[in-house]
Amino acid sequence: QVLRGLDLQTGFFTFRQMKAATNNFDPANILGEGGFGAVYKGELLDGTIIAVKQLSAKSRQGDREFLNELSLIAGLQHPNLVRLYGCCVEGTQLLLVYEYLENNSLSRALFGPKESRLKLDWPTRKKICLGIARGLAFLHEESTLKIVHRDIKTSNVLLDADLNPKISDFGLAKFEEEEKTHISTRIAGTIGYMAPEYALWGYLTYKADVYSFGIVALEIVAGKNNTRYRPDDDYVCLQDWALVLQQKGNLMELVDPTLGDEFNKEEAIRMIKVALLCTNSSPTLRPVMSEVVKMLKGQTHVPE
Ligand code: ACK
């Protein structure tokens, strides 16, 4: 029974299969709670390890359009996107079946409980940052769907066995509302990562993701959580601190001290400058993700 790589035309999983895969949704198999519901680890009969995400009941779940959209999302494949294998619909329950990633989320690796933290050296941090940028460039510019993720944050970036980053939960925000306009009535995002124009007015474009990416990049360089960062009472977030350091001409101070001397200073400064460009309060002044990729690779100059 080969269930790997199915699209939803043929890739509906049965509830019975999911029960078997997760040992009857054994709480011991819960990987964590996501924004949409619990995530279970499971194993298919062919040995494929999966992550099963439970979505809470929503009226749209049974409708054809919803399933069509989901099948399009399942068709999106990129090395930096978590693969959606298929789904399982039963009554008001919806289960999404994803590839399983061994190394949990980037937020856990960077600032989780001590025992779950990973030592991420500079080449790995660079690889992670570039990989997220590539995944987003694909979603925004290359994929058939042209998706705005809306909730880019370190806990939505998962790491595989080789610490390659993969973006999860893309396409899910779409299902939270029906409007096709640029103005969202319901804001799907996370405080601290949300672009100001989106948080304040619900004005949503690809540039909202670019902003969130910038915050994630700052967190990767600094090894600190943006929203919990309080070096003193003057700066409540990393981004403020980075701006102050930029003015002082002392961006190096932002770099994670646990890296010691084992990092390339030029690359670190470049990553911070790209991040600050991405978090510009004006969306039109933020670069698009394909430009970010080139800047991170040092192929194009980072404007001051
Ligand atoms: O940091 P984590 O262990 O990694 O906590 C979250 C939690 O479930 C809620 O989202 C984990 N998780 C989500 N999707 C997957 C997946 N495809 N593979 C492995 N872990 C996952 C995530």
ipTM: 0.96
Say whether 166 counts as a known binding-site residue: no
Distance 153 CA to ligand 1 centre (A): 13
Nearest CA to ligand 1 atom 6: 32
Long-range contacts (CB closer than 8 Å, 24 or more residues apart) made by 287-290 = 287/210, 288/137, 288/140, 288/141, 288/206, 288/210, 289/133, 289/136, 289/137, 289/140, 289/141, 289/206, 289/209, 289/210, 289/213, 290/137, 290/141
In the block, which residue shows the tokens 């880019």? 152
Per-residue pLDDT tens digits for 34-80: 766 789 999 988 888 999 988 765 545 455 666 666 777 888 899 99
Residue pair 145/72 in contact (Cβ under 8 Å)? The answer is yes
Q: Which atom of ligand 1 is least distant from the CA of 156?
A: 10
Alpha carbon of residue 6 to chain centroid = 23
Per-residue pLDDT tens digits for 160-190: 999 999 999 876 665 544 444 455 555 678 8
Q: Give the whole-angstrom CA distance, residue 222 versus residue 55.
A: 33
Distance 263 CA to ligand 1 centre (A): 29
Residues with CB under 6 A from ligand 1: 31-34, 39, 51, 82, 98-101, 104-105, 108, 158, 168
Residue 6 to residues 54, 74, 143, 242: CA-CA distances in angstroms? 19, 8, 18, 44
